[in-house]
């Protein structure tokens, strides 16, 4: 059987739809972020990254770098095993304490990524709690969807950010079944933020536990970077808060926080926790340093907010439409996969601006977009350059559109 032909026919279909993914090969250079060297032949040598989830540049923060290097020199490269079999290092334990403190919870549990933490925690809760029903916001991240699917628990999807729909759906369920309401704070593609207090009120009314993904908020929101739940003073009402160490904290790994019993339960039963080698101690040490820094320091968050506002104002001044939202994410809607990719290619090749086209399946078809994430290290000149490039392309696109 010609397996490659089978593979290629599906890849060809992706290409025909404009949804085939091509990665930009970058060489990140310390001290230069958000500038990076491009290894692609048709891009300039140096490009400005406009779509990084290293939202605050913590991946190149001298304190964080030093923590990682020191820990490698002190403890070596790998953890040496799963957490159960010789893999639990002092760095993991210290990081879990840092995380529990960040969210004001009794305990925390580390995973190798945010994806794995959602997948493992939801699949364990959903499969081990008898008759459990998971109520999932319709725009939840793939990692939550996969965890719920794997749990084989009954799943009910509620309308995005709609507490009234959630209320109706909870009311229709048996009163004595354990229920989990799973949702996110900042939704990463539209940049909208959930009505957290209203959702909590509904969940509490029905005795449901709450599962909150704060992946795009930790480090960024709240006076200590504890996320939207900290900013709004709601963390103590949420059963489980999940986050990543790979985005604003600039490292890698994922976690959950909550009661000691719940963390112990997931530690004891989650396959995705038990059967995989622990994070390198140096990654844990760097993440703990990044979290501790952002608990104290406001300069990164303040400057990020300023630069986000500047970009929005300048886009408005040039009439370039972007989704209005209260977060740090600036989506410019293109609504066509081929055009979206073409614009991104031109920005990269002619302007040295790197923004990844966001196409299906990351977003629904017809909502393709360029997603900009301004950070504290984007200069005013970077912003001006971006807005100028977009204005030129907007005019060209409009002309092309009129001719077609």
Nearer to ligand PLP, 114 or 222 (CB): 114
Coil, strand or helix: which one is 70?
helix
The answer to whether 159 is a known catalytic residue is no
Residue with the shortest CB distance to ligand PLP: 114
| Number of Cβ atoms within 10 Å of the Cβ of 222 | 23
Phi and psi dihedrals of 253, rounded to 5? 125, 165
Backbone φ/ψ region at 174: left (φ over 0), alpha (ψ -120 to 50), beta: beta
Nearer to ligand PLP, 167 or 188 (CB): 188
Work out how close the CB of 253 gets to ligand PLP at its nearest, in angstroms, rounded to a whole number: 7
Structure tokens at 336: 């066509």
Work out how close the CB of 244 gets to ligand PLP at its nearest, in angstroms, rounded to a whole number: 3
Cβ atoms 352, 46 nearer than 8 A: yes
Work out how close the CB of 118 gets to ligand PLP at its nearest, in angstroms, rounded to a whole number: 6
d(CA 14, CA 11): 5
Nearer to ligand PLP, 215 or 284 (CB): 215
Q: Which of 247, 295, 339, 341 is catalytic?
A: 247
Residues making contact with ligand PLP (CB under 6 A):
113-115, 118, 141, 143, 184, 188, 213, 215-216, 244, 246, 254
Structure tokens at 230: 């900290």
Nearest to 383 by CA among 306, 298, 290: 306
Work out how close the CB of 282 gets to ligand PLP at its nearest, in angstroms, rounded to a whole number: 17
**Counting beta carbons within 10 angstroms of the beta carbon of residue 165, is it exposed (0 to 12), middle (13 to 18) or buried (19 or more)?**
middle
Nearer to ligand PLP, 119 or 351 (CB): 119
Q: Which residues participate in catalysis according to the annotation?
A: 247
């Amino acid at each position: 059987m010609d397996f490659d032909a089978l593979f290629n026919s599906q890849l060809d279909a992706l290409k025909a739809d404009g949804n085939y993914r091509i990665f930009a090969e970058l060489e990140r250079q310390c001290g230069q972020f958000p500038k990076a060297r491009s290894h692609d032949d048709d891009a300039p040598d140096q490009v400005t990254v406009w779509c990084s989830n290293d939202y605050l540049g913590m991946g190149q923060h001298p304190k964080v770098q030093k923590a990682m290097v020191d820990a490698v020199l002190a403890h070596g490269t790998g953890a040496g095993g799963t957490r159960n079999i010789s893999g639990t290092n002092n760095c993991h334990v210290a990081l879990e304490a840092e995380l529990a403190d960040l969210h004001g919870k009794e305990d925390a549990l580390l995973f190798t990524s945010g994806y794995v933490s959602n997948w493992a925690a939801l699949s364990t809760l959903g499969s081990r709690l008898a008759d459990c029903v998971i109520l999932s916001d319709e725009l939840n991240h793939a990692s939550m969807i996969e965890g719920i699917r794997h749990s084989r628990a009954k799943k009910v999807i509620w309308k995005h950010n709609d507490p009234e729909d959630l209320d109706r759906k909870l009311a229709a369920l048996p009163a004595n079944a354990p229920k989990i309401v799973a949702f996110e704070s900042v939704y990463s593609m539209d940049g909208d933020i959930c009505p957290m207090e209203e959702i909590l009120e509904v969940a509490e009314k029905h005795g449901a536990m709450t599962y909150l993904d704060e992946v795009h908020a930790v480090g960024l929101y709240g006076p200590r970077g504890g996320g939207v739940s900290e900013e709004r003073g709601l963390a103590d009402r949420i059963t489980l808060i999940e986050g990543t160490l790979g985005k604003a904290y600039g490292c890698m790994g994922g976690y959950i926080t909550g009661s000691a019993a719940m963390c112990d339960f997931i530690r004891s039963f989650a396959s995705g926790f038990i059967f995989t080698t622990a994070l390198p101690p140096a990654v844990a040490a760097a993440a703990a340093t990044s979290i501790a820094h952002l608990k104290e320091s406001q300069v990164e968050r303040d400057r990020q907010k300023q630069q986000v506002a500047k970009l929005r104002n300048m886009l408005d001044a040039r009439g370039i439409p972007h989704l209005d939202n209260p977060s740090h994410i600036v989506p410019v809607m293109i609504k066509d996969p081929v055009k979206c990719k073409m614009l991104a290619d031109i920005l990269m090749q002619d302007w040295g601006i790197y923004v990844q086209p966001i196409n299906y399946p990351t977003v629904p078809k017809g909502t393709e977009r360029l997603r900009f994430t301004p950070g504290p290290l984007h200069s005013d000149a970077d912003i001006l350059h971006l807005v100028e490039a977009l204005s030129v392309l907007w005019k060209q696109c409009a002309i092309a559109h009129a001719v077609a």
